[in-house]
């Protein structure tokens, strides 16, 4: 009988364990956070192959050190992108780009199936590199591994020039995806969340992955849902409520793996809707088993502004160990800062305790930068008097930059005078942000010692705005350098020295150099030399002149309406530099009276929407349309947001930011 009871208990335990994610899942999923979108786009050859041979050669260095070079031979089984015309492919461990990592070449063994995403080197193929990392997916089950349909979907998106259709392809494939394929599709969706948030069916496509057997998939699904909430600038309540309900239901499962739990709670915090069950899930009663989950709950409750949960959170911070890991501690402390005037004194008290114990106070200094300025600045000043080390001074400066409080200037000046090189740049940033006469006087003695010319010119302009002309020689000397010209011209305009006009005229007359002449014309415009308008206008009217762009910018600085006809010609130029200069000039010229119906406005909108135009010219057109507050902007932004040629570009980030700020509803299929 006891044996039967023991067997019954054992069977129940096995049954329960079968319902829970395994430890292997928790710690051994190579595809956690897998992002193949960029690597597939830039790859030359993508294939499924079987490892047929592994060999190695050991090399001894200096009689003591030993390194290993491995050679791998693969039999191609299925080519997904590109052409491979041979029976086998040989690659070295150097080609694969991984040395001794958990899933590097050292773990590649004979008869494994592998997905190879290859780019080109000067000698042949190498594993595709994204940033400083090389993409080396783990072993596949076979040549029909579940990741392959996802790879095919991602490759299909490369042929779509419309980003909305890319998202539709991802959504159609997502419900059936599993494992690594699901993670890669969810991550690709993250990159296009602003579009996904406005397409029907997005929640239904993510739903099955919130209850996947794989912790990595559950984490990716919750993270994607969070990105959808963040991107939903139109605040679709139905979408948010449905998403939160799914997240809460997922939390109700017997989840033992930490990462998915944290991702679920984080996403609830970003949803922006109050759900009674979600509120219960964020409570600190009872206390979670880990600090990470406690911190995540506190941060989510803070975002949702749930006052009922605040007292336990306050107690939690007061009871928190002084040597709590930085990332967890910062999350708790910054969650407490929002609209809480009492948080700064509590952070200062904790900071004093840390310093007295011999611990660093980086976290408290950083968190003070997020507190209301009126209470944070005095707390920072008191903290500084306690004797901060060089790294703590750096965090002091970062907080000062965020707060931009004039009361911090004397202390920032002291840090500059102390010669702490680690903090110098951060002190200057803070003074620039504060932007008062006293801040300029504190920075003035350090202009000559600034080694970076771009930074020196930025400082020169800052001082010039506050009637300190010390930076004039640097500005006039470096205005001919194309990469420094805008900074130098800005400095000259800020300093506005009377001798600039005569010097710039002399340079234009005698230099016989395009760069110097261009700079001189820009300088004359920046300081408002109206007498130079006729000769500058003559140059602007010659669209083929290499000085035409500079002439238009100078005329725009002087608000010369005569520049409008050549502006229209320049906006249609095939030269990206000319079109870029014209768009920048338009931001000022189209603010002049009687320009609301000027054809240049249509040209700017067309330039922004033109997929064949250079991104920097399109960017200038965007900023011009924003500056003149043109009604054509929404339609042009719509076109740019769907333009696949802009993916992974700064311009697209700016486009999406403006769309969200102006709450423009996208017209999607």
Q: SS3 of 384, please?
A: helix
Return the minimum-mean-pLDDT range out of 114-118, 336-340, 592-596, 640-644: 336-340
pLDDT in tens, 427-456: 999 999 999 999 999 999 999 999 999 999
pLDDT tens digits, 59-83: 888 888 887 788 899 999 999 999 9
Element (H, E) at 457: helix 453-465
Residue 572 confidence class, pLDDT cut points 50, 70, 90: very high
The whole-angstrom separation of Cα 381 and Cα 370 is: 15
- Integer Cα distance of 470 and 447 in angstroms: 8
pLDDT confidence of residue 98: 58
Q: Is the pTM of this model over 0.85?
A: yes
**What mean pLDDT is predicted for residues 74-99?**
88
Q: How confident is the model over 290-306, as a mean pLDDT?
A: 91
pLDDT band of 56, cuts 50, 70, 90: confident
DSSP string spanning 129-155? EETTEE-----BSSTT-THHHHHHHHH
For residue 135, what pLDDT band results from cuts at 50, 70 and 90?
low
Whether residue 376 contacts residue 348, with contact meaning beta carbons closer than 8 Å, is answered with: no
pLDDT of residue 556: 98
Kindly state the average pLDDT of the residues 124-149.
79
Kindly list the distances between the CA atom of residue 602 and the CA atoms of 598, 634, 636, in Å, as whole numbers in the listed order: 8, 13, 10
* Over residues 543-571, mean pLDDT: 96
Confidence (pLDDT) at 60: 83
Q: What is the mean pLDDT of the chain?
A: 89
Whether the pLDDT of residue 471 is over 60: the answer is yes
Peptide bond between residue 286 and the one before it cis (omega within 30 degrees of 0): yes
CA distance linking residue 525 with residue 560, whole number of Å? 10
pLDDT tier at 269 (50, 70, 90 boundaries)? very high
Q: Is 163 a residue whose pLDDT tops 60?
A: yes
Query: What share of the chain in percent tops pLDDT 70?
Result: 93
Task: Give mean pLDDT, residues 650-655.
Answer: 97
Q: Is the pLDDT of residue 337 over 60?
A: yes
Residue 330 near residue 367 (C-beta atoms within 8 A)? yes
Of 326, 329, 382, 332, whose CA–CA distance to 352 is shortest?
A: 382
What is the pLDDT averaged over residues 111-126?
Answer: 89
176 vs 63, residue with greater confidence? 176
CA angle 655, 658, 661 (to 5 degrees): 150
Contact in structure between 350 and 334 (CB atoms under 8 Å)? no
Average the pLDDT over 2-12 and give the result. Answer: 40
Q: Please name the residue that has the structure tokens 């780009």.
A: 97
C-alpha dist (Å) from residue 353 to 321, 359, 362, 386, 399:
11, 9, 13, 11, 20
Q: What is the pLDDT of residues 9-31, one digit of tens each?
A: 344 333 333 333 433 344 568 88
pLDDT classification of 234: cutoffs 50, 70, 90: very high
Q: Which helix (H) or strand (E) holds 60?
A: strand 45-61
Any alpha helices (H) in 304-384, and if so which ranges? Answer: 310-319, 326-335, 343-357, 362-368, 373-384
Residues 484-494 pLDDT 10s = 999 999 999 99
Mean pLDDT across 93-119: 74
604: its two tokens: 């700017």
pLDDT digits (tens, 9 = 90+) for 142-155: 888 999 999 999 99
Chain segment 346-382, per-residue pLDDT in tens: 999 999 999 999 999 999 999 999 999 999 999 999 9
CA distance 276 to 14: 34
Q: What is the pLDDT of residues 400-409, one digit of tens each?
A: 999 999 999 9
Strands 113-120 and 89-92: unpaired
Distance between CA atoms of 476 and 492, rounded to whole angstroms? 7
Count Cα neighbours of 505 within 13 Å in the Cβ-side half-sphere: 13
The torsion angles phi and psi of 480, rounded to 5 degrees, stand at: -80, -15
Sheet strands side by side (includes 65-81): 89-92, 65-81, 45-61, 113-120, 125-127
Distance (Å, whole) CA 125 – CA 96 = 9
The residue with tokens 């010369």 is: 560
Q: Is the pLDDT of residue 626 over 90?
A: yes
**Whole-angstrom distance, CA of residue 631 vs CA of residue 610:** 18
Q: What is the pLDDT of residue 5?
A: 43
pLDDT at 134: 57
**Beta pairing, strands 125-127 & 89-92:** unpaired
Tell me how far apart the alpha carbons of residues 546 and 548 are, in angstroms, rounded to a whole number: 6
Structure tokens, 1: 């009988």
Q: Are strands 125-127 and 45-61 parallel, antiparallel or unpaired?
A: unpaired
Longest dimension (CA), the chain: 110
Q: What is the pLDDT of residue 62?
A: 84
């Amino acid at each position: 009988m006891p044996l039967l009871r023991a067997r019954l208990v054992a069977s129940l335990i096995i049954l329960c364990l079968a319902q829970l994610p395994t430890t292997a899942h928790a710690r051994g999923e190579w595809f956690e956070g897998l992002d193949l979108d960029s690597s597939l786009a830039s790859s030359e050859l993508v294939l499924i192959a079987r490892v047929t041979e592994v060999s190695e050669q050991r090399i001894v260095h200096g009689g003591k050190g030993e390194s290993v070079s491995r050679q791998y031979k693969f039999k191609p089984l299925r080519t997904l992108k590109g052409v491979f015309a041979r029976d086998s492919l040989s690659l070295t461990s150097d080609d694969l780009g991984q040395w001794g990592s958990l899933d590097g070449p050292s773990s590649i063994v004979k008869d494994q199936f592998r997905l190879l995403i290859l780019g080109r080197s000067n000698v042949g193929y190498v594993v595709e590199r994204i940033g400083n990392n090389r993409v080396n997916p783990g072993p596949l089950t076979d040549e029909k591994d579940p990741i392959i349909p996802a790879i095919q979907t991602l490759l299909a998106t490369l042929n779509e020039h419309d980003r909305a259709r890319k998202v539709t392809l991802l959504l159609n494939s997502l419900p059936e995806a599993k494992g690594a394929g699901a993670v890669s599709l969810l991550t690709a969706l993250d990159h296009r969340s602003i579009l996904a948030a406005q397409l029907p069916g997005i929640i239904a496509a993510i739903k099955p992955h919130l209850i996947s057997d794989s912790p990595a998939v559950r984490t990716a699904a919750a993270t994607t849902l969070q990105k959808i909430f963040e991107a939903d600038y139109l605040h679709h309540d139905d979408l948010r409520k449905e998403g939160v309900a799914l997240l809460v239901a997922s939390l109700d499962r017997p989840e033992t793996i930490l990462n998915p739990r944290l991702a679920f709670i984080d996403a609830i915090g970003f949803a922006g809707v109050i759900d009674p069950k979600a509120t219960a899930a964020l409570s600190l009663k009872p206390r979670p088993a880990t600090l990470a989950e406690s911190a995540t709950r506190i941060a989510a409750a803070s975002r949702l502004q749930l006052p009922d949960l605040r007292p336990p959170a306050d107690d939690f911070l007061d009871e928190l160990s002084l040597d709590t890991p930085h990332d967890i501690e910062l999350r708790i402390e910054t969650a407490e800062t929002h609209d809480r005037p009492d948080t700064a004194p509590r952070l200062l008290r904790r900071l004093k305790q840390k310093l007295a114990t011999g611990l660093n106070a980086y976290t408290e200094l950083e968190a003070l930068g997020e507190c209301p300025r009126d209470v944070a600045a005095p707390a920072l000043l008191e903290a500084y008097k306690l004797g901060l080390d060089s790294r703590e001074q750096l965090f002091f400066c970062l907080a000062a930059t965020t707060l931009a409080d004039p009361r911090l200037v004397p202390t920032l000046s002291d840090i500059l005078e102390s010669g702490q090189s680690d903090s110098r740049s951060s002190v200057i940033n803070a003074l620039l942000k504060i932007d008062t006469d006293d801040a300029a006087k504190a920075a003035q003695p350090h202009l000559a010692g600034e080694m970076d010319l771009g930074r020196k010119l930025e400082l020169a302009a800052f001082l010039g705005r506050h009637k300190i002309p010390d930076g004039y020689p640097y500005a006039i000397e470096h205005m001919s350098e194309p990469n420094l010209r805008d900074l130098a011209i800005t400095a000259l305009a800020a300093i506005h020295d009377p001798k600039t006009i005569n010097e710039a005229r002399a340079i234009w007359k005698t230099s016989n150099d395009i760069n110097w002449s261009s700079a001189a014309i820009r300088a004359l415009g920046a300081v408002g030399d109206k007498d130079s308008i006729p000769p500058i206008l003559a140059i602007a009217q010659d669209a083929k002149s290499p000085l035409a762009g500079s002439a238009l910018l100078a005329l725009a600085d002087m608000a010369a309406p005569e520049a409008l006809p050549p502006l229209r010609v320049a906006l249609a130029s095939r030269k990206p530099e000319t079109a870029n200069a014209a768009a920048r000039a338009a931001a000022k010229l189209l603010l002049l009276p009687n320009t609301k119906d000027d054809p240049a406005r249509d040209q700017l909108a067309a330039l922004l929407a033109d997929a064949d135009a250079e991104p920097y010219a399109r960017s200038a057109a965007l900023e011009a349309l924003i500056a003149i507050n043109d009604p054509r902007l929404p339609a042009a932004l719509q076109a740019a947001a769907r333009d696949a040629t802009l993916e992974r570009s700064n311009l697209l980030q700016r486009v999406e930011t403006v769309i969200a700020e102006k709450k423009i509803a996208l017209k999607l299929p």
